[in-house]
Amino acid sequence: MALYLVTGGAGFIGSHLVSGLVRRGERVRVLDDFSSSRRGDNLRDLADDIELIDGSVRDEGIVASAMRRVDFVLHQAARTSVPKSVNDPVRTNEVNVGGTLTLLLAARDAKVRRFVFASSSSVYGETQVLPKHEELPTQPISPYGVSKLAAEQYGLAFHRAYELPFVALRYFNVFGPRQDPNSEYAAVIPKFIAALSDGGKPVIYGDGTQSRDFTYVADIVAVNLLACEREAAVGRVINVAGGERHTLLELYAILGELLGNAHEPEFRPARPGEIKHSEADITLARELLGYRPTVGWREGLERTVEWFRTMQSPVAGRLGAG
């Protein structure tokens, strides 16, 4: 039976990957320092089915220990916020670039069968070409985007120099259950849901016409597992998305409908480092991985709202009243 190492496995995307692997009957080891997730929140029901290591991807000793006997690495650990990277680019670089390099070195030495890296659509920057395909020039406009591109390039260099089987998946705006709405830098969907459920007015930075290609988290899980299996993916960077874009005003309208809140949003100036429009060309994911999005945008929003309504946390009491 294969052993999977999931870095950042206690977080939003990582915990969904862990759940999916456990359901498949795989052996799972999680490496997480709980800097962006509370211990046990997302893995509470899986504690007896996984091995959990509390530590940072920047710690060479811990990483070397975590990599022992590993077959597949699913590297999700990162500082994921664009605004946070603008405020503190050094820390973002230390985790996203330095941490990835530490993992790559350990994976090379452990001769892992596949290293799958969670990259980001932010590497493209403010390109005018839509949808964005993998051959476009990369022109990131935030330190976060730069860090993801640098980590990608390290992985590809390790593939060429050391024959490490490396795949980079460029995620586009992942959403779903378990996203934390309480963080100062929370993603837009949980932030909107929390505010609307409180009867409040969500904040939109910019005029709301900016658009994103939203990807439901179950599709991210599926494509990571495909990337571990398909030989054609090795040495490639691949977009992963829903394949269509929606504006923040569209998003706001649907969430308002689902939550029964017709309040107008509060508009504030656009934040630095954030792009105006994003949409993915997912042709390569289809061709190399056999990837097909399985959860539509509205269905994904309905599932996410339902989870927020029923989750057991301080936010749950407020959301349940919605």
CATH number where 162 lies: 3.40.50.720
Whether residue 159 sits in one domain with residue 136: yes
pTM summary value: 0.93
CA-derived radius of gyration, the chain: 19
Find the domain containing 136 and state its range. 3-174+215-240
Q: Please give the Cα distance from 275 to 178 (Å, whole number).
A: 25
Does 291 fall in a domain? no
Whether residue 151 sits in one domain with residue 206: no
Q: Give the phi and the psi of residue 38 in degrees, each rounded to 5.
A: -80, 140
Whether residue 75 sits in one domain with residue 159: yes
Whether residue 301 sits in one domain with residue 231: no
Whether residue 229 sits in one domain with residue 250: no
Whether residue 229 sits in one domain with residue 198: no
Does 253 fall in a domain? yes
Does 119 fall in a domain? yes
* Burial letters 93-111, b for 16+ CB under 10 A, else e: bbbbbbbbbbbbbbbbebe
- Residue 106 to residues 31, 116, 148, Cα–Cα distance (Å): 13, 14, 19
Whether residue 7 sits in one domain with residue 49: yes
Whether residue 182 sits in one domain with residue 114: no
**Contact predicate 185/254, CB 8 Å:** no
Evaluate the CA torsion angle 257, 262, 266, 270 in order and state its sign.
positive
**Contact predicate 5/29, CB 8 Å:** yes
Does 286 fall in a domain? no
Residues in the chain: 322
- Report how many domains make up the chain: 2
Whether residue 199 sits in one domain with residue 94: no
CB-count burial class (<10 Å; 0-12, 13-18, 19+) for 47:
exposed
> Domain with 270 in it: what CATH number?
3.90.25.10
**Contact predicate 117/166, CB 8 Å:** yes
Does 252 fall in a domain? yes
For residue 268 the two structure tokens come to 């504030």
Q: Determine the 3-state secondary structure of 77 from DSSP.
A: coil
Does 287 fall in a domain? no
Does 19 fall in a domain? yes
Whether residue 30 sits in one domain with residue 150: yes
Position 315 scores a pLDDT of: 46
Position 41 scores a pLDDT of: 82
Whether residue 82 sits in one domain with residue 32: yes
Does 283 fall in a domain? no
Angle (deg, nearest 10), helices 188-197 and 297-310: 50
Whether residue 30 sits in one domain with residue 84: yes
List per-residue pLDDT tens for the chain, 322 residues long.
899 999 999 999 999 999 999 999 999 999 999 987 666 689 988 999 999 999 999 999 999 999 999 999 999 999 988 889 999 999 999 999 999 999 999 999 999 999 999 999 999 998 889 999 999 999 999 999 999 999 999 999 999 999 999 999 999 999 999 998 876 567 899 999 999 988 888 899 999 999 999 999 999 999 999 999 999 999 999 999 999 999 999 999 999 999 998 788 999 999 888 889 999 999 999 999 999 999 999 999 999 999 998 873 444 444 433 2
Q: Please give the Cα distance from 91 to 100 (Å, whole number).
A: 13
Give the helix, strand, coil percentages of the chain, each rounded to 5.
Answer: 45, 15, 40
Q: Give the phi and the psi of residue 71 in degrees, each rounded to 5.
A: -95, -45
Q: Please give the Cα distance from 181 to 63 (Å, whole number).
A: 30
